Amino acid sequence: MPIIQATPPAEEPITLAEARLQCRVDDDITEEDSLIESMIKAATEYCEQYTGRPLITQEKQYVGPFSSKLELTPNLLSVESVEYLDLSSDQQALDAADYFVDVASPVGKISPYEWWPSTKVNHPQPVTVSFTCGYGDAADVPEAIKQCIRMLVGHWFENRESVSMGQVTSEMEFSVSSLLNPYRIPVI
């Protein structure tokens, strides 16, 4: 499913101050801040990939063909527009009264009330659906997911190499999966 980022989130699920607290970095030491910020981004991306869910409100686009029901993403908040190339290669906007937006399903989707219009023949991506998704702002992200982000940042801060000799990582893996599994959308 070709989903692309249109507008990234305005914030991360946890703040730099929360991550610094997790890493036990004193307030007067700032030389590690850019590293910690990059770890927050990486941990957030990991949690989004693992769960299949966008966390903070963001704008995305589906680019591809029409299908009976277009599955967009979990945590779908709204659909702003559905545009398509018609048979004459002209850009058209579909009226919102012509399709149903299902935000209550585990994976948000849209479907036509009758049928989708015909699109340009042999065009691989004749349809663009612009939509907003995510839990909301950082305060709306489930605490278990935010805790996982904090744990990952703390772990990566302490273990900066890809391999730590003589350490067992199964406890960290178990903690991450235990926190994220309730939010995970299975891939079919």
- Which of 133, 158, 173 is at the close of a domain? 133
- What is the domain range of residue 111? 58-133
Question: Same structural domain for residues 50 and 64?
Answer: no
Question: Same structural domain for residues 49 and 63?
Answer: no
1 pLDDT more than 70: no
pLDDT in tens, 82-140: 999 999 999 999 999 999 999 999 999 999 999 999 999 999 999 999 999 999 999 99
Q: Is 1 domain-assigned?
A: no
What was the pLDDT predicted at 164?
60
188 pLDDT more than 60: no
Question: Same structural domain for residues 93 and 127?
Answer: yes
Neighbours of 182 (CB within 10 A): 10
* Most distant CA atoms of the chain, gap in Å: 65
Query: Sheet of 91-93: strands edge to edge?
Result: 3-7, 58-64, 127-133, 76-85, 91-93
Q: Is 8 domain-assigned?
A: no
CATH code of residue 175 = 1.10.3230.30
Amino acid occupying residue 161: E
Q: Is 96 domain-assigned?
A: yes
* pTM of the complete model beyond 0.75: yes
**What does pLDDT average to over the chain?**
92
Domain count of the fold of the chain? 2
- Which of 110, 133, 156 is at the close of a domain? 133
